[in-house]
Amino acid sequence: MNAVKPDPRPLIAHVLHRFDTGGLENGVVNLINRLPSDRFRHAIVALTEITEFRRRIERDDVQFVALNKPPGQGLWTFPRMRGVLRGLQPAVVHTRNLGALEMAAPAAWAGVPVRIHGEHGWDIGDPDGRSVKFRITRRVYRPFVHQYVALSQQLQRYLLDNIGVAPERVVQLYNGVDTQRFRPASGARPPIAGIPFAGSTLWLIGTVGRLSPIKDQVLLARAFVRALEWAPQAKAHLRLVLAGSGPLRSEVERVLADAGVGELAWLAGDRSDVPDIMRGLDAFALPSLAEGISNTILEAMASGLPIVATSVGGNVELLQDGATGRLVPPQDVDAMARALLDDWRDPDAARQRGRRARHDVERRFSLDGMVAAYGDLYDRLLAQAAARGALQHRFT
């Protein structure tokens, strides 16, 4: 009987807090689907749960592990985490964001040769990175991480200046976007499946993402109401589209209903046809309190849409204010409303910004470039691990 040969491809274990619909998770999906299958294997480890979002993975050789861990930094869970890793035997553990960083310690304990941590952005508990508690937490786990990946220059500076990571241990890599999947409409705006609005005179303002406090869609709803208060004639033309679900839905509905404009907005819920939604909009808005490098902004740019976004985090690295989009202060209802009205009143100028954004994303943020950069990073770190003998002695 022939013995089964071990698979020579290194296994990358992607560790996330939760594997569900989101920009970070979408980036992991793109990476797994695009990295050459003859070079790497993959596993997804969620500290909490894995949802139906797993269906976005196109490969049939990806392992999925959900730990269903309760909240908090639980040292008592480290033996179990170590056991999972010893079972998977990954060559690389790649944690993402603070919610998954604690896996770095069990990964070191398990002898994983390469340990990478990616900083993708902030959450509502620390929207500007000032939390002393979270800084201390990151410093505690710093010795267990070989390499950091910062998705924006702001996050890179944060790791260097506030967490004390050595410069040679930080690399800055932007997200990429599939410019074939996300592309401008070839002619007139196509209708979105299920949308209750129709008419060429309408101007559809949309956003896509989980309805959560850090994304602050309530501000967008208030800005939409403010715009209609300032320009009552716009009620015949402006419509609001919000794709996504989450805890802010009821508050968004309340803001719109209290203003008597609920029928002018469509809360579409979770959607799997985001490229079609983007092509069915006239303009895109992102009212976030904080961002790393926003996948939805990249998707809107690739779709050639006029964009109004808050001037937070990596947004200022993606958009050139007045050239490829409009940047407004966070939590500023009037500024957001003014920008939305300006785009509607001067659609030619708005669409010109959208065309420039499409050109910019093709030049600076290609998905192929992102995938190649991560593949090269994995190869480089695996070669370094082999040179120090870590690959040969792992899991002993």
The string of DSSP codes covering 123-152 is: -TTSTTS--HHHHHHHHHHGGG-SEEEESS
- The pLDDT score that the predictor gives to residue 55 is 94
pLDDT digits (tens, 9 = 90+) for 94-137: 999 999 999 999 999 999 999 999 999 887 778 878 899 999 99
- The burial of 171, by beta-carbon neighbours within 10 Å (0-12 exposed, 13-18 middle, 19 or more buried), is given as middle
Rg (CA), the chain: 22
- The pLDDT score that the predictor gives to residue 2 is 58
Rounded percentage of the chain residues whose pLDDT exceeds 70: 96
What DSSP string describes 53-73? GGGG---SS-EEEE--PPSS-
Average pLDDT over residues 44-70: 95
- The pLDDT score that the predictor gives to residue 103 is 97
pTM metric for this prediction:
0.85
For residue 314, the one-letter residue type is G
Mean pLDDT of the chain: 94
* Region of residue 64 (phi > 0: left; psi between -120 and 50: alpha; otherwise: beta): beta
Architecture of domain 11-176+366-387: 3-Layer(aba) Sandwich (3.40)
Delimit the domains of the chain by residue range: 11-176+366-387, 203-364
- The pLDDT score that the predictor gives to residue 396 is 44
Rounded percentage of the chain residues whose pLDDT exceeds 90: 88
Most confident of 49-53, 300-304, 313-317, 391-395: 300-304
- Would you identify the CATH topology of the domain 203-364? Rossmann fold (3.40.50)
Q: Which residues pair with 170 in a beta bridge?
A: 148
- CATH fold match for the domains 11-176+366-387 and 203-364: yes
pLDDT band at 394, cuts 50/70/90?
A: low
pLDDT digits (tens, 9 = 90+) for 212-228: 999 999 999 999 999 99
Residue 342, pLDDT > 80, answer: yes
* Region of residue 72 (phi > 0: left; psi between -120 and 50: alpha; otherwise: beta): left
